Amino acid sequence: MDFFEHQEAARKKTKLLIFYFVLAVILIVTALNLIAYFALSGFSASQGGNEALSLSQWPQQPGFFFTSGAALGLIGLGSLFRWFQLRGGGKSLARMVGAREVLPDSNDRLERRLINVVEEMSIASGMPVPTLYVMDEEEAINAFVAGQESSDTIMVVTRGALEQLSRQELQGVVAHEFSHIFNGDMKINVRLISVLAGILILGQAGYYVMRSLRYSGSRSNSKDSGNLIAVVMIVGISMYIIGSIGLFFGRMIKAAVSRQREFLADASAVQYARDNQGLAGAFIKIAQQSSLLESRYAEETSHMCIAEPIKLNFSSLATHPPIDKRLDAIMPDWQDFQHQQLNKAKRKAERSADEQARREKAKQKKGFEAFGGEGVLAGMGGLIETVGSPTTLHLHAANALLLAMPEVLRTAAHNHHASSHAMYLVFALLVSDNGQVEESVLNLIAEKYGESSKEEVLKLASHMTSNKRYLRLAILDMAIPSIRRLSKTERKNFLSLLKELIHMDKQVSQFEYILYSLVRKSLTPANASSKIYIKRFSKAQTEIQLILSAVVHASQNSEAEKQQLFNTLIVSFSDKKMELLPNNFEAESFHKSLLVLNKLTPLLKKALLNAFEEAIQADGIAQVEEIELFRAICEFLDCPLPRILENYSQDVANKIHGSKH
């Protein structure tokens, strides 16, 4: 299965989750009614009732409606409360579990290593850089990702993972978590927390009922009140027991949803890095030490973690396969590898931080040109097949991109201080687009953020020369986590100014649209409402015509070749004659068309993106501008496109692999 098939499967799995939830609710309500029936029947008999109530008559009694209504109300309120608590997406969940955000400009050595690994994977895979968090109080090794959309994705790792894993092992863990994003698991996992909260609340309600009645019995002397308290106590105990049944169903649902997804994520992580030793090494350390979390939310988030965070008596209810089974799947000879690692640890101490820093500094001198420079962007070669599936070449080339980036730009991207904020980097990308810096643009920036901001933007723009255009989107990706730290008001003001700067010349260029739309998408909260899918191309013919025309015009073909190419490609999406639209980029209509196409089912998106790729490949040259346009299209279709293309020359590939040794 490729990325699009996994997305389609995830869409269907959401329906399966709803089915499991409804089934669990029906069984819980039925069990509560049975207990209420027998409890009230026993109470009636103790009071000398003449006529026993049959079970078949119970659904017509007020007690049935009260019991069912109370149960459904509690379940609904529990799910609604947790959904409301997590409506802010990944960051809300991070706050709930008490994780601390990792600042983009952190000076902590272990946190810097995590940032570098995640940035490499993000650039290689085409995913926005997630906001990083650390659970400082957790010494066990674990990690998870969460979020509703790519714009609010977070990655949480424990302090134990940072301190106990090597860089290679940490990269394996990060690749595993990214695969959950690619495979559509992230959104399902967050929804599952809200769903299960309603099922689990019955047990909590039963506990509070019993606790509130603990002292009531000693103060009640009458027989009637004593019997009533006994009945309520029985109901409370029953709710607690049924809450445990709810916990059982909850774990069954999580196991059904997540166990196979973990095997898939393991395999995908190995595929991305072409390295099974990193993830295998992490699993071996988890088996030797622990993945159990102290957090009181460990039960609710157990299905999201890379390894089982809670202790279970029955392995059949585990949300994760056993570690040894996962190791067998990715490395059949893992026991020999484990023995080798132990011997290696005895023979050689871990390199010091100073040695690592010197080695990285020497490596930076080689720069991106050592790997082929812009020649890396020369070919496309089955690009759609890499959506959601970055290869080892993507990872190495992403690292090369980071090394090619001037240090002043890398520092600015991680900066969230007022004097040199990462948002100045976005302004620098804007003003350096056409090679000429407009004084009026700089003056408006200075008016909003002070005279020093003007100087900072000019300094950053001076490093964005025409031969570094291939770095533009990588620079933007690195800056987004710092910009996300702006308050809601600051974000609004920043986006408003960026839009005003773009419209100063009364027109919006293709790159200006790409820049603004990607920034806005990354900073705008995700819409939690359900998407209504478009299942036929005939429902989006006009939008396909507009986007395909823009992609065709971005190529270096002649006008006649463009017309012929468009005619060849459009027939797959329309049964009527459609013309190539004029080469006149109109940002608003382009954006509206993308929003419509985002409603296509995953498999329809794949066919459409294949056509766009064919249009770009037609002239045999993939220009930076074409790649940026394609990246923006993929971003709005929620299809992560690797920034670095897969079709390296053999010479470039050898250089990349040679740099590792």
DSSP state of 296: T
423, 483 Cβ separation under 8 angstroms = yes
Of all helices (H) and strands (E), which one includes residue 95?
helix 90-96
Sequence-distant (≥ 6) Cβ neighbours of residue 428 within 8 angstroms:
457, 460, 461, 464
Q: SS3 sequence, 455-484?
A: HHHHHHHCCCCHHHHHHHHHHHHHHHHHHC
Pairing of strands 131-135, 154-158: parallel
Residue 36: the pLDDT is: 80
Cα distances (angstroms) measured from residue 598 to each of 353, 506, 547, 631 = 46, 28, 12, 14
Residue 365: the pLDDT is: 43
Residues 241 and 106 placed together within one structural domain of the fold: no
For residues 122 and 476, give the distance between their C-alpha atoms in angstroms, rounded to a whole number.
12
For residues 389 and 178, give the distance between their C-alpha atoms in angstroms, rounded to a whole number.
10
Residues 244 and 105 placed together within one structural domain of the fold: no
**Catalytic annotation, pick one of 138, 177, 456, 626:** 177
Confidence label for 540 from pLDDT (cuts 50, 70 and 90): very high
pLDDT digits (tens, 9 = 90+) for 176-230: 999 888 877 787 788 788 877 877 776 666 656 665 655 454 444 454 555 556 6
Residues 472 and 377 placed together within one structural domain of the fold: yes
Residue 230: the pLDDT is: 62
Q: Which residue has the tokens 């031969």?
A: 467
Residues 339 and 475 placed together within one structural domain of the fold: no
For residues 98 and 137, give the distance between their C-alpha atoms in angstroms, rounded to a whole number.
9
- Mean pLDDT, rounded, for 63-67: 86
Residues 25 and 53 placed together within one structural domain of the fold: yes
Residues 553 and 596 placed together within one structural domain of the fold: yes
**Domain assignment of residue 651, yes or no:** no
Determine whether 177 is an active site residue.
Answer: yes
Residues 386 and 476 placed together within one structural domain of the fold: yes
Is the pLDDT at 658 greater than 80? The verdict is: no
Q: Return the bridge partners of 134, or none.
A: 100, 157
**Domain assignment of residue 494, yes or no:** yes
**Domain assignment of residue 49, yes or no:** yes
For residues 224 and 201, give the distance between their C-alpha atoms in angstroms, rounded to a whole number.
30
Query: Pick the residue with more confidence: 13 or 265?
Result: 265
**Domain assignment of residue 151, yes or no:** yes
Q: Phi/psi class of residue 89: alpha, beta or left (left: φ > 0; alpha: ψ in -120 to 50)?
A: left
Residue 418: the pLDDT is: 63
Full residue range of the structural domain in which residue 393 is found: 360-527
Residue that finishes a domain, picked among 495, 527, 559: 527
Residues 12 and 143 placed together within one structural domain of the fold: no
Is the pLDDT at 143 greater than 70? The verdict is: yes
For residues 185 and 259, give the distance between their C-alpha atoms in angstroms, rounded to a whole number.
12
Give, rounded to a whole angstrom, the gap between the first and last alpha carbons of the chain.
33
Class of residue 88 by CB neighbours under 10 A (exposed 0-12, middle 13-18, buried 19+): middle
Residues 74 and 109 placed together within one structural domain of the fold: no
Residue 381: the pLDDT is: 46
Residue that finishes a domain, picked among 257, 286, 316: 257
Class of residue 98 by CB neighbours under 10 A (exposed 0-12, middle 13-18, buried 19+): middle
pLDDT digits (tens, 9 = 90+) for 286-335: 999 889 999 988 888 888 899 999 887 777 778 888 999 999 989 988 88
Residues 306 and 370 placed together within one structural domain of the fold: no
Residues 437 and 494 placed together within one structural domain of the fold: yes
Confidence label for 647 from pLDDT (cuts 50, 70 and 90): very low
Residues 371 and 494 placed together within one structural domain of the fold: yes
For residues 34 and 29, give the distance between their C-alpha atoms in angstroms, rounded to a whole number.
9
Helices (H) and strands (E) in the chain, counts: 27, 4
- Mean pLDDT, rounded, for 361-366: 47
